[in-house]
Chain A
Amino acid sequence: MTATDARRRRRLAIGLALATLVLLVAGLAAGSDGWSLPDLARTWAGPDGALIVGQIRAPRTLGAWLTGALLGLAGAIAQGLFRNPLADPYLLGSASGASLGVVLLLAASASGGHAIGLATADTLARIGLVGAAFGGALLGVLLTLTLARGAQQTTRLLLAGVVVGVMLAAASDLVTSAVPEALRGKQAFLLGSTGYLGWGSCAALAVGLALTLPPSWRLARALDALTLGADTATSLGVALPKVRVALVGAIALATGLAVSQAGLIAFVGLVAPHLVRRFAPARNGFALLASAAAGGTLLLLADVLARSLIAPREVPVGVLTALLGGGYLVWLLHRRRVA
C-alpha cells in the first residue's frame, strides 16, 4: 500500500461521493418529461410538486442507490470470501430462489379461483411479490448451504450454489410452462425495475444496509487474512467458520432485500467491486465501503438513464446495468489485451 494507492483511494472516494451527489440531483430532475433542471424548479413549485418530487422521484432515486449499494456490497463480500473475482452476489442460489418464489406466486394468482380458495389468494396478495422474492432468496441460500454442508469449503459452496441455481431456475421454467400466465410478470421481475420504489422500500433497504455494512466492515480484516490462504488465516487467529457463516448471511440478506424490492438487476454486484479494485487497490475494509458506493452510483446512473433516454417511456433498468456493466468489462478486457 503505497502513497500513490492512498491518493488513488482518496480520489475514488471523492469521485464516488461527487457522482452520488450529482446523480441524486439528476434523479430528482429526471421524470416523465425527460431530464431538465429548470423543469425541476417548475415541477417543485407546481401544484403536484410534493407528490411528484417527494413521493415518486425522491424515494425512487434513493431506493435505486440503496439497492445498488446492497448489491455492490454483497458482490464485494462474495469476491473477497470466495477469493474469486468472478463471484457474484447471485451465486448462492438467491437469484433463482427469488425468481422461483415470484413465479410460484404469479402462477398461484393466475390460476386463482380454480386451484386455491379466496382466502389463500388474499393472503398471497398481501405477502406480495416482495415477500415471495425474499422468501425464495432465503430458501435458495439455505439449500445451497445445506448442500455444501455449511460455508466451510469454498469450492463446495460455489459448486452447490451453481447446482441449486440451475435446479431452481429449471423449476421456475417448469412452472411457467405449466402456467404460461406467470410468464409476463416473471419477465418484468427478471429485467429488474426501480419504477415503484417508495419510501417503504427505501426504509427496508436502508435497514438492510445498516444490518449488513457495519458487521461486514468489521470482518473485513478476516477477509484480508484470507487472501493469504485459509491455513494462514486460521494460524493468524481468524475464526474462519464463524466469519464465513456471518458473511454468507450478510450476502443472503443484502441480495434478498435488493432482489425483493427491485427484481434481478444484472451485473451491478459483479462490476462494482471490479471498478473499485481497478481504480484503487485497497484492503477489504475500504473495498467493501467503496464497492457499496460504486454499486449505488452505477444503479442510480442506470435508473436516471432508464427514465430520461426515451421519456416518458422507460427502458428496463436491468438492461441498462447489463449494458453499462458488460460494456465496462469488455473495455477492461480490451485494455488488458492492448497492454
Chain B
Amino acid sequence: MPASLIRGVRVSAWRWRLAAGAVALALVSAAQAQLAVRDDRGATLRMSAPPQRIVSLLPSLTESVCALGACARLVGVDRFSNWPGSVRGLPKLGGIDDAQIERIVALRPDVVLVSSSARIVDRLEALGLKVLVLDSRDHADVQRSLIAIARLLGTPSEAERVWAVIERETQAAVERVPPALRGRRVYFEVDTTPFAAGAGSFIGETLTRLGLANAVPVELGPFPQLNPEFVLRAQPDIVMAVRPALAEMPRRPGWPALRALREGRTCGFASDRYELLVRPGPRMGEAAGVIADCLVAITARDAATKAPR
C-alpha cells in the first residue's frame, strides 16, 4: 500500500469522526432545546432528558406532578404534602423555611420543584441541583404550573387533559349551585384572628366561578386581617370556615347577631375538606364541588325549616 493512500484513509477517518461528533453534538443540543422550561422567576431550566427523580417542596406542586401521572417519579416531598395517599410514604423533607437540604441532596433529584417564596432556591442551585420555581396563588398559576410541569415531564399534552378535568368538575359544581343562592355574599374565614379570603384570593376566585359574591371586596387584598366589626356590618349571607372556627364564632363578642350564623346558613368544613379548598392545585375542581355540596345542604335545611308541619 503506497504511503499516500494510507495517509488518505487516515485523513478520511479523522474527517468522519469529526462529522459524527458534530452530529452527536447537534442531537444532544436538540434534546436539550426540547426540554427547556421557563419558570415563574423567568429562569430557563434546561435538561437533557425528562427528570426521573423529582423532589417537590409544595403540596400543590406534589399534587400536580401526581395528577400529570408522574407520581412514581417523586422521591421526596415537603411535610405538608399528603395527597394522593401514595406520597405519604415518601421521605418528608421539611417545609418551605426549614427544608432539609442535606437530605434533599442525598436523594440526588434531577429536579426540585419549589414555590417562589422558598428561601432555599439559591442554596440548592449552589449545590448543583436543578430547581424549578413555580407560584401557586391563583387559578391562572395552577394552569401555568401544570403546563410547565407537564413539559418538564416530557408529556406536554397531559396538562390539557388535567385542565379539562378541572374545568369539567368546576362546571358540574357551578350547575349544582341552587339558583336561590346565586349572587349571595360569602364570608370565608381562613384564620380566627380574623383573616378572610377576599375576592382576589384563590378561594375568592372559586367562589366567583360558582356565581357567589364575596363579603370582602377585592381591594382589601387576598387575605386581609379584618376588624371583626366589619364582618358584622357586612352581614354576609353565608359564612364558611373550618369546622372548629365556625363552632367558636357565636362566642365572639357581638357575633351571635350574624344572621347567617343564627339561621344556619353556614359551611363548616372538616379539616381535610378545608385543606382541599385552600390549596391551589389540580383538585380545585373537586374543591368547587365541596362548596356546591354545602350550598345544596343549606338549601335543603332552609326548605326543612320552612316546610309546614
Task: Identify the A interface with B (CB < 8 A).
Answer: 31-32, 48, 51-52, 55-57, 59-60, 109, 125, 177, 180, 184-185, 188, 193, 195-199, 307, 311-314, 316
Contact = CB atoms under 8 A, between A and B. Distances in A.
A48 B194 CA distance: 21
B91 interface: no
Given A185-B192, A188-B192, A312-B220, A197 B253 contact: yes
B227 A195 contact: yes
Contacts of A57: 229
B245 to A, nearest CB: 10
Contacts of B226: 32, 312-314
A195 B228 contact: yes
A313 B224 CA distance: 6
A56 B193 contact: no
Contacts of A193: 193
Contacts of A198: 252-254
A156 B95 CA distance: 40
B257 A60 contact: no
A64 to B, nearest CB: 13
A312 B253 contact: no
Interface of B: 79-80, 95, 98, 191-194, 220-221, 224-230, 232-233, 244, 247-248, 252-254, 257
A48 B257 contact: yes
Contacts of B79: 180
A32 B230 contact: yes
B198 to A, nearest CB: 10
Nearest to A202: B253
A185 to B, nearest CB: 7
A180 B254 contact: no
Most chain A CB inside 10 Å of its own CB: which residue of B226, B247, B253, B257: B253
Given A109-B244, A312-B227, 18 more contacts: A31-B229, A31-B233, A32-B230, A32-B233, A51-B257, A55-B253, A55-B257, A56-B253, A60-B253, A125-B247, A185-B192, A188-B192, A193-B193, A197-B253, A198-B253, A198-B254, A313-B220, A314-B227
Nearest to A193: B193
A68 to B, nearest CB: 18
A127 to B, nearest CB: 13
23 contacts: A31-B229, A31-B233, A32-B226, A32-B227, A32-B229, A32-B233, A48-B232, A52-B232, A52-B233, A52-B254, A55-B257, A56-B232, A56-B253, A56-B254, A59-B253, A60-B253, A180-B80, A185-B192, A195-B227, A198-B254, A199-B253, A313-B221, A313-B226
Contacts of A60: 253
B262 to A, nearest CB: 13
Contacts of B98: 177
B227 A311 contact: yes
A56 B226 CA distance: 14
A31 B230 CA distance: 8
Contacts of A52: 229, 232-233, 254
B81 to A, nearest CB: 13
A148 B221 CA distance: 50
Contacts of B233: 31-32, 48, 52
Contacts of A199: 253
A198 B232 CA distance: 14
A60 B191 CA distance: 20
Best-buried of B191, B244, B248, B254 by chain A (most CB within 10 Å): B254
B191 A188 contact: yes
B232 A51 contact: yes
Contacts of A188: 191-193
For the complex of A and B, 3 pairs with smallest distance between CB atoms = A198-B253, A32-B230, A55-B254
Best-buried of B193, B227, B248 by chain A (most CB within 10 Å): B227
Which of A31, A188, A196: most chain B CB closer than 10 A? A196
Contacts of B227: 31-32, 195, 307, 311-314
B220 A195 contact: no
Contacts of A59: 253
A261 B221 CA distance: 28
A76 B170 CA distance: 60
